[in-house]
Amino acid sequence: MTKQNVVPVEAVAAIAVAAVAGSSPLFPYPPPRAYGRRKYLSQLELGGGRIGAWVESMKASSPTHAKATAALPSGDAAVDEQSAWVVRHPSALNKFEQIMSASKGKQIVMFMDYDGTLSPIVDDPDSAFMSDAMREAVRDVARYFPTAIVSGRCLDKVINFVRLADLYYAGSHGMDIKGPTKPRHDKARAKPVLFQPASEFLPMIDAVHKALLERTKSTPGARVENNKFCVSVHFRCVDEKSWSSLFEQVRCVLKEYPKLRLTQGRKVLEIRPTIKWDKGKALEFLLESLGFANCTNVMPVYIGDDRTDEDAFKVLRDRGQGFGILVSKFPKETNATYSLQEPSEVKDFLVRLVEWKRLSMKACSKVQVA
């Protein structure tokens, strides 16, 4: 793809303002619920005495962890909390007809995370394979709707996992975006998609990756993954007693790189450039690239399970257009409108979406013939 096919950063600046101005609410959203913790610490805090807070956050990053489970309500209180949360974030399967009713006359655009959404969370990041049934469901969805995979993985890795050609892919939390060679659904004013807003950080990311490999090699179970525009330090297989020392190792490396920031996902610490770019910005960029930035007849749907997906959920909530679906078995603070419990339910939702589209097209054909 030639250089003139790259959408410039300046073209993205007005996306959010234009989208909000040209859209109308699809759902009566309640006010967003506030988060109790910030998503990352500043470099000053990394150099201070906040290690304990980070380790506590690491312990709570997965509800299956003993500490996180102990913090959850039990007995009747747990039932009440779960019920209250489901009222706020009902199952997208149970509310499927309502969702489809709201989409009438609108173009659905699908966005999905990969790990924990299309594939299960596993101990070995390199073994997070999606099932053949899930791949078929995603392939069918992409036949009828513009579809994008937005992942923290590097672009090449997520493409190799999914192995579908007709999709848009956004790797490294949206910092590496690529569209299909022959798009199915682009509108006339759509732009060719190839975008890397953090390309200047590549040498720095490579250096940090090498430094972290060396620094963390004394911690059994630690996995350092180069995701091109970010570095992931997986601690899922690290003994909890070593989490403090692992965080200290990461902190010591980051002290030398003030242009990078630390964020946290599910059993993973992630080092990313400080640019104002995330999965929410990637969603807006892709809508703009597809020609839907100023459209009122578009309904973006974003499905994800991770803290980093909250940026995309918030964008949709702020736009008052489309909705987010959180994949989680446990109540948690989220800007998503609906919920699904696990990847198998994501597959069921995608299958129902395709069936609904096929029936709608068949009904429309009958009306035209009549």
Residues noted as catalytic: 113
Length of the chain equals 370
- In whole angstroms, what is the distance from residue 311 CA to residue 283 CA? 9
DSSP-H helix ranges across the chain: 15-21, 43-46, 51-59, 66-71, 75-88, 96-102, 132-144, 155-162, 202-216, 243-254, 279-289, 310-319, 343-369
Q: Helix 132-144 crosses helix 343-369 at what angle (to 10 degrees)?
A: 40
CA distance 173 to 227: 9
The neighbouring-strand residues paired with 262 are 271
Q: In what order do the strands lie in the sheet with 176-178?
A: 194-195, 176-178, 168-171, 147-150, 107-112, 298-304, 323-327, 338-340
Encoded tokens for 232? 């992931």
Residue 37: CB partners within 8 Å, gap ≥ 6?
Answer: 57
Return phi, psi of residue 14, to 5°: -95, 5
CA angle centred on 61, ends 320 and 339, rounded to 5°: 35
Q: Kindly report the CA angle at 147 between 123 and 173, in degrees rounded to 5?
A: 50
**What letter would DSSP give residue 192?**
-
Per-residue CA distances from 173 to 202, 217, 241 (Å): 14, 26, 29
Cα distances (angstroms) measured from residue 215 to each of 90, 208, 212, 221, 247: 44, 10, 5, 13, 11
Q: Return the sign of the alpha-carbon dihedral for residues 197, 199, 200, 205.
A: positive
Sign, CA dihedral 206-210-212-213, equals: positive
